[in-house]
Amino acid sequence: MLDFKPCRVIQSYKIENNKASIIGFNHVVELNSVSTVLWKMSNGKNTVKDIITEILNIFDISDENKVYDDIKKLIDMLHNEGLLIKNWDPLYKDKIGILTRGN
């Protein structure tokens, strides 16, 4: 999962005081400052490893395994809420089009 490139699906969000509020389909998701780093970097270009490295540097955290576990849980939660794609593929729309065109 370290090579995954998460990508935001929802662009309706605001960041104030290093905390994000994501306006989802059914409710608002509030993120703390560490989780907001994940959200801001989830553009389909940064890997999970890049995001973890940034979090470790910004917050001077030494336990990389704990950060990885927390980020993995957060990515899973945001994905399940329909707010984030776990591993962005720039050809995703083309692949979906191929699957649905002939059917």
Domain boundaries, the chain: 7-101
C-alpha 46/C-alpha 31 separation (Å) is 19
Chain CA centroid to CA 97, Å: 24
pLDDT tens digits, one per residue of 20-70: 999 887 889 999 999 999 999 999 999 999 999 999 999 989 999 999 999
CATH level 3 topology of 7-101: Arc Repressor Mutant, subunit A (1.10.10)
* pLDDT given for residue 89 in this prediction: 87
* pLDDT given for residue 101 in this prediction: 47
* pLDDT given for residue 35 in this prediction: 97
* pLDDT tier for residue 10 given thresholds of 50, 70 and 90: confident
CB 78 within 8 A of CB 9: no
Query: Residue range 68-77: average pLDDT?
Result: 97
* pLDDT tier for residue 92 given thresholds of 50, 70 and 90: low
**11 token code pair:** 């662009």
Three-state DSSP state, 68: helix
